[in-house]
A = this chain, B = another copy of it.
Amino acid sequence: MEGVVGPLDELMRPSSIAFYGASNNPLKMGTMQLANILEGGYAGRVFPIHPSEERVMGLPAYRSIAEVGEPVDLVQMVLPPDLVPGIMEECGRCGVRRAIVISGGFKETLRREGVDRERQLREVARRYGIRFLGPNCVGIMNGLISLNTTTIPEPPFGGGIALVSQSGAYTSMLNPYLREQGVRICQTISVGNEADIDIVDCLEYLLEEDAVKAVGLYVETVRRPREFIAAARRLAAAKPVAAVYVGGNEAGARSSLSHTGALAGPDGIYDGIFRQAGVMRVADMDLMIDALWVLSTQPLLRGERVAVITNSGGPGTSLAYHLEKAGLKVPVFSDALQSRLRSITTPTASLSNPLDITFDPNPGVYKDILEAVFSSGEVDGALLYGVFGPSDMAVNLRKRFPELIPFERKMEESFRGFLAEFADIPRRYGMPLVVMSLLEGSAATKRILVEAGVPVYQAAARAAGAIRASLEYHRLRERLRGEEAGGPREEAG
């Protein structure tokens, strides 16, 4: 494989894009996509192709790709489906080698006409050596070059998560959800019908993309199981891969068939494929994001022992319960550690594990506790509940005590500094920290923690599930690396 440039390398990092299907009508899908390309900070050249307009969204428009007169790295098409094969041919003649076909109306219709059209499209592409995404997809997002060709504005770029999806909605529509949680992504790829480029190509590509730290897949079918397993194993030995698969029962399979024209297999078969592939199967998209969030931001959990640090009994008990339910341990701290903690906390604190700080006006205590716990050798990671910024609950107080406002601003500045240092402790000790918080995303504490790379979950079971995923991947990676090094394979291939 070395030295070979995969189809996605050029597609994800084009220096120039020709766009078919954008106009000056803001209600058209193509226009929405071009608006997102132009407003998103993409630095390459963009050439709208339009049969009649002189300019499209302020850019000079071209009648055809031949008129552009410059090399074009990537073409995106939002066209009536019957035009697509012919346009693809024109592009091929002009030297284009990468394309994204947004248009639907192909194999997914389950009608002869659509199936034939897809075959024709593929033949044209082959003839000219064009590699393409789609048809029936929603485009790509690449934070590394600020490129977003989908209809969803403002992807939350800046993180290490890559998403690959056989569902357009789940590629692009996921972004508002991610933004609300504060989760940041790196790339997303909508593969649509996979008439050419498929998930296997994406897995190979993402292995080489260093900025990508964790990969999530939405799968309705695996079209090349053997290649999928091989590519996923290589990828998973380097970075975690999680997948949602929803074709596994009668209703799911029926729906999947009419969606992607794909024949889905029973849950058990896919469980087996994922296990062999080293892919962590998760139940739904939100839980996949939960796992990818901790995996892409925090050191791995390398053992079962987790400290629970809380300032409130209910969430502390919930975290302990759900950790143990998830197969992890909440070990009672040694006397030595407890007496060290006693010197840090107030007398009402409960020191065993969960460590319940109870009420303590000094937020700095969290930092001292986390360092004490991480340096003790008694745990492998920590779950935390209860750190609050000074202003997160002061809405009504501010109305009664306007003098609080400048005071809070100062407090918040110092709190921001404290939280940044606090969030750095996991990296220093190589152990993960996960926070549970019921605060809104707009709350200062949550925002600062999340910006500093600490994942924050709104439920105890989800926080516990996420940190368990971290241990699961640690073990999986050990297994995959062991097998690669020639050890015995757990499963027959």
CB-based contact B109/A285 at 8 Å: no
Which one of B152, B258, B286, B329 lies within 8 Å of A313 (CB-CB)?
B258
Which stretch from A66-74, A118-126, A174-182, A208-216 is at the chain B interface?
A174-182
A157 within 8 A of B: no
Q: Whole-angstrom distance between the alpha carbons of A255 and B354 in the complex?
A: 6
Q: Whole-angstrom distance between the alpha carbons of A78 and B104 in the complex?
A: 64
CB-based contact B174/A317 at 8 Å: no
CB-based contact B320/A251 at 8 Å: yes
Query: A169-B314, A283-B461, A318-B284 given as contacts; is B396 within 8 A of A39 (CB)?
Result: yes
Which stretch from A90-98, A292-300, A435-443 is at the chain B interface?
A435-443
CB-based contact A395/B153 at 8 Å: yes
A311 to B, closest residue via Cβ? B169
A115 within 8 A of B: no
* Among A104, A324, A352, A399: residue with most chain B CB under 10 A: A324
CB-based contact A286/B462 at 8 Å: yes
CB-based contact A322/B177 at 8 Å: no
Which one of B39, B153, B441 lies within 8 Å of A393 (CB-CB)?
B153
Q: Whole-angstrom distance between the alpha carbons of A325 and B407 in the complex?
A: 53
Q: Whole-angstrom distance between the alpha carbons of A456 and B148 in the complex?
A: 27
Which one of B246, B356, B400, B404 lies within 8 Å of A317 (CB-CB)?
B246
A53 within 8 A of B: no
Query: A32-B393, A323-B251 given as contacts; is B259 within 8 A of A57 (CB)?
Result: no
Which stretch from A4-12, A160-168, A418-426 is at the chain B interface?
A160-168
Which one of B152, B169, B175, B316 lies within 8 Å of A315 (CB-CB)?
B169
* Among A39, A179, A386: residue with most chain B CB under 10 A: A39
CB-based contact A176/B443 at 8 Å: yes
Query: A167-B312, A220-B314, A252-B320 given as contacts; is B246 within 8 A of A440 (CB)?
Result: no
- What is the 8 Å Cβ interface bit string for chain A, positions 323-340, against chain B (1 contact, 0 not)? 111000110100000000
CB-based contact A352/B153 at 8 Å: no
Q: In the assembled complex, which residues on chain B have CB atoms less than 8 Å from the CB atom of A361?
A: 27
CB-based contact B400/A180 at 8 Å: no
A375 within 8 A of B: no
A60 within 8 A of B: no
A38 within 8 A of B: yes
Per assembly, the copies of the chain total 2
CB distance from A253 to the nearest CB of B (A): 9
Q: Whole-angstrom distance between the alpha carbons of A35 and B402 in the complex?
A: 12
Query: A176-B438, A180-B440, A396-B35 given as contacts; is B250 within 8 A of A167 (CB)?
Result: no
Q: Whole-angstrom distance between the alpha carbons of A350 and B78 in the complex?
A: 21
Q: Whole-angstrom distance between the alpha carbons of A313 and B359 in the complex?
A: 49
Q: In the assembled complex, which residues on chain B have CB atoms less than 8 Å from the CB atom of A330?
A: 251, 254-255
Which one of B27, B168, B396, B438 lies within 8 Å of A177 (CB-CB)?
B438
CB-based contact B254/A320 at 8 Å: yes
A114 to B, closest residue via Cβ? B348
- What is the 8 Å Cβ interface bit string for chain A, positions 420-463, against chain B (1 contact, 0 not)? 00000000000000000011110100000000000000111110
A256 within 8 A of B: yes
- What is the 8 Å Cβ interface bit string for chain A, positions 457-471, against chain B (1 contact, 0 not)? 011111000000000
Query: A352-B254, A358-B104, A438-B173 given as contacts; is B35 within 8 A of A399 (CB)?
Result: yes
Q: Whole-angstrom distance between the alpha carbons of A441 and B458 in the complex?
A: 15
Which one of B40, B153, B175, B248 lies within 8 Å of A321 (CB-CB)?
B248
Q: In the assembled complex, which residues on chain B have CB atoms less than 8 Å from the CB atom of A317?
A: 167, 220, 246-247, 252, 255-256, 259
- A161-202 residues at the B interface, CB under 8 angstroms: 165-170, 173-177, 179-180
CB-based contact A314/B438 at 8 Å: no
Q: In the assembled complex, which residues on chain B have CB atoms less than 8 Å from the CB atom of A105?
A: 348
Q: Whole-angstrom distance between the alpha carbons of A246 and B404 in the complex?
A: 38
CB-based contact A35/B324 at 8 Å: no
Q: In the assembled complex, which residues on chain B have CB atoms less than 8 Å from the CB atom of A256?
A: 313, 317
CB-based contact B314/A259 at 8 Å: yes
A146 within 8 A of B: no
Q: Whole-angstrom distance between the alpha carbons of A206 and B354 in the complex?
A: 33
Q: Whole-angstrom distance between the alpha carbons of A458 and B443 in the complex?
A: 20
- What is the 8 Å Cβ interface bit string for chain A, positions 20-38, against chain B (1 contact, 0 not)? 0000001101011001101
CB-based contact A246/B318 at 8 Å: yes
A387 within 8 A of B: no
A-B contacts besides A26-B394, A167-B312, 4 pairs, CB < 8 Å: A154-B396, A166-B314, A167-B315, A249-B321
The list of the 6 closest CB pairs from A to B, nearest first, reads A167-B314, A259-B313, A252-B321, A169-B312, A251-B320, A246-B321
Pairs across A and B, CB under 8 Å, 5 listed? A169-B315, A258-B313, A259-B350, A284-B461, A287-B461
